């Protein structure tokens, strides 16, 4: 089955056809490094990782870029409020200096990258930082000004949305239906309510901004939207294949990116496929830093959950659907994931063509093609085909997980280990990584209780406890004077 992806630009699934044969350029909006990234943020990066792994599964060579925003992102995505980096400095009681801003940025960037590693998310090919691409941003603004898409006011340089005919095409907005104040605060300097900032001047409320650069419009700093346009073009060219983000990016940030970039290059579409993941929400609503109701990966680890268990939970809901999160859901995912790992740990190598991936290769996809073909000769073609059909249907991870479970429970299936390894190169769940079987506390309590009654030769209670343990997904086997527990 050919790979089909849902394109936000067209609001439909499309057969994926890259600009260059078998080569894919992807840009993902990265974090503003002023605070910890919560698990809702991380769900988006898990989605992006699954996308990249699925492209690799289909033998595409991927160039992946994730930016780091370390200046210019105000507390409102629509160019209002205080600079988020400055806000972080005040929150942490540091002096209002450029060094403090850089210190904050480095601190939270490192934590973010550590969380990506814990979630087994592949590292991108480049991490461009906004502060390193200001020259490119200024050049873009100059071009827009020359072409009549930008105008200067006392406090900023704005993009004139009325000059860009298809401004509404990603978010399906109609400018005639938008009233002043509908998405952004009314600004008397704007010609149109939806005009957005390309360049902030270092005047008025921004006079003492910690980072100011020389420009044709005086000292100032870039708007948030222009940053992604400049960095993506620098690394992927004037047109590329896929741009990712969260659904909250559609109506403002990504809409503005398209307008300013296509006005500069004159090429449309700038990006062929726009892909957006939905929110991870709490029962009481969206998880957000501004709302003060965030939960981080570290918070979950402190509650005895592993990053892989969160990743498994994310894969059980399609990326375009909302994921309603609570600890009960995560607990259920934890038990299911551990049961899956326990079952796989009991499997033996049943494929005669089994080979180990060469040490110089991080994963199977980096191995030579002839090696991969030999390795997969022992895989189960039937289950691999079902898996491919699911993943190539717009990354249908819930369906693909069903295929995996059907495989491990099929006593007659051959080539299980090779097939699981191939599937897990996409899932990224470390399914074949040898770990000590994790037995939940409530199960261990039942095992200990059963040992006591077994020593008293109370066989009826021992059998009842064995059945109760089995209902929770584990099998207890009597071994000499003790017992052994394994997953079903």
Answer yes or no: do 37 and 144 share one domain.
yes
> Residue 321: its pLDDT value, please?
97
Question: Which range (278-292, 314-328, 388-402) has the least confidence?
Answer: 278-292
Determine the Cα–Cα distance for residues 351 and 100; give it in Å rounded to an integer: 57
Tens-place pLDDT, residues 157-209: 999 999 999 898 999 866 555 444 444 455 688 999 999 999 999 999 999 89
**The pLDDT of residue 353 is above 80:** no
pLDDT at residue 342, as a whole number:
87
Residue 457, C-beta contacts closer than 8 angstroms, at least 6 positions apart: none
Task: Look at residue 433 in the predicted model and tell me its pLDDT.
Answer: 87
How many domains, in total, are found in the chain?
Answer: 3
Judgement on whether residues 455 and 419 belong to the same structural domain of the protein? no
Inside any domain, residue 285 = no
Query: What is the reported pLDDT for 479?
Result: 73
> Residue 474: is it exposed, middle or buried by C-beta count within 10 angstroms (0-12/13-18/19+)?
buried
Q: Is residue 257 domain-shared with residue 364, that is, in the same domain?
A: no
266/334 same-domain check = no
Q: Are residues 113 and 210 in the same domain?
A: yes
pLDDT at 123: 97
Q: How far apart are CA 484 and CA 478, in angstroms?
A: 6
Average pLDDT for 50-63: 98
Shared domain for 102 and 242, answered yes or no, is yes
- Please check whether residues 175 and 236 belong to one and the same domain: yes
| Dihedral Cα 145, 196, 246, 292, nearest 10 deg | 140
Describe the strand order of the beta sheet including 150-152 as a list of residue ranges.
150-152, 156-159, 196-201, 220-222
Mean pLDDT of the chain: 89
C-alpha span between 59 and 23 (Å, rounded): 9
In a domain, 191, yes or no: yes
User: How large is the average pLDDT for residues 462-468?
Assistant: 88
Q: Where are the beta strands (DSSP E) in 291-413?
A: 323-325
Q: In whole angstroms, what is the distance from residue 89 CA to residue 34 CA?
A: 8
Q: Is residue 468 one of the residues assigned to a domain?
A: yes
**Which of 277, 308, 337 is at the close of a domain?**
277
Domain match, 401 and 448 both: no
Length of the chain: 488
270 and 324 fall within a common domain: no
Same domain as 450, residue 347: no
Would you state the pLDDT for residue 180?
44
pTM comes to: 0.85
Q: The domain spanning residue 337 has which CATH number?
A: 1.10.730
pLDDT in the model for residue 5:
98
Peptide bond into 269 cis (omega under 30): yes
pLDDT of residue 347: 83
Once rounded to an integer, what is the mean pLDDT over residues 282-302?
Answer: 81
- Structural domain span for residue 389: 297-427
pLDDT (mean) for 5-30? 97
Answer yes or no: is pLDDT of 354 > 50: no
């Amino acid at each position: 089955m050919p790979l089909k992806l849902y394109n936000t630009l067209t609001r439909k699934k499309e057969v994926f056809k890259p600009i260059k044969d078998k080569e894919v350029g992807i840009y993902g909006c990265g974090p503003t490094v002023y605070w910890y990234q919560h698990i809702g943020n991380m769900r988006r990066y898990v989605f992006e990782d699954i996308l990249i792994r699925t492209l690799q599964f289909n033998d595409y060579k991927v160039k992946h870029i994730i930016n780091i925003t370390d200046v210019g992102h105000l507390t409102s995505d629509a160019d209002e409020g205080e600079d988020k980096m400055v806000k972080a400095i005040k929150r942490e009681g540091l002096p209002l200096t450029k060094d403090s801003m850089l210190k904050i940025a480095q601190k939270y960037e490192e934590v973010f990258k550590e969380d990506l590693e814990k979630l087994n998310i592949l590292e991108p090919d480049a991490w461009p930082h906004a502060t390193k691409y200001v020259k490119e941003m200024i050049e873009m603004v100059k071009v827009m000004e020359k072409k009549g898409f930008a105008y200067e006011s006392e406090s900023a340089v704005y993009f004139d949305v009325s000059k860009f005919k298809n401004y509404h095409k990603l978010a399906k907005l109609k400018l005639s239906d938008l009233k002043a104040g509908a998405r952004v605060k009314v600004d008397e300097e704007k010609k149109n309510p939806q005009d957005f900032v390309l360049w902030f001047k270092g005047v008025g409320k921004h006079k003492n901004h910690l980072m100011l650069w020389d420009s044709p419009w005086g000292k100032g700093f870039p708007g948030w939207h222009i940053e992604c346009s400049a960095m993506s073009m620098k690394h992927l060219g004037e047109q590329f294949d896929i741009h990712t983000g969260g659904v909250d990016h559609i109506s403002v940030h990504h809409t503005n990116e398209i307008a300013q970039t296509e006005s500069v290059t004159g090429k449309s579409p700038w990006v062929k496929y726009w892909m957006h993941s939905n929110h991870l929400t709490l029962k009481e609503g969206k998880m957000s830093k501004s709302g003060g109701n965030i939960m981080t990966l570290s918070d979950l680890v402190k509650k005895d959950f592993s990053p892989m268990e969160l990743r498994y939970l994310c894969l059980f809901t399609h990326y375009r659907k909302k994921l309603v999160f609570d600890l009960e859901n995560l607990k259920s995912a934890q038990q299911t994931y551990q049961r899956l790992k326990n079952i796989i740990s009991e499997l033996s190598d049943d494929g005669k063509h089994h080979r180990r991936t060469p040490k110089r290769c991080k994963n199977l996809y980096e191995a030579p093609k002839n090696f991969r073909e030999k390795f997969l000769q022992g895989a189960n073609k039937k289950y691999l085909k079902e898996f491919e059909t699911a993943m190539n249907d717009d990354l249908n991870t819930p369906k693909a997980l069903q295929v995996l479970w059907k495989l491990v429970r099929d006593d007659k299936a051959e080539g299980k280990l090779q097939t699981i390894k191939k599937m897990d190169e996409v899932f990224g769940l470390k399914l074949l990584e040898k770990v000590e079987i994790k037995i939940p506390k409530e199960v261990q309590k039942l095992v200990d209780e059963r040992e006591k009654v077994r020593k008293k030769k109370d066989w009826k209670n021992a059998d009842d406890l064995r059945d109760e343990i089995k209902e929770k997904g584990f099998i207890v086997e009597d071994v000499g004077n003790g017992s052994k527990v394994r997953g079903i």
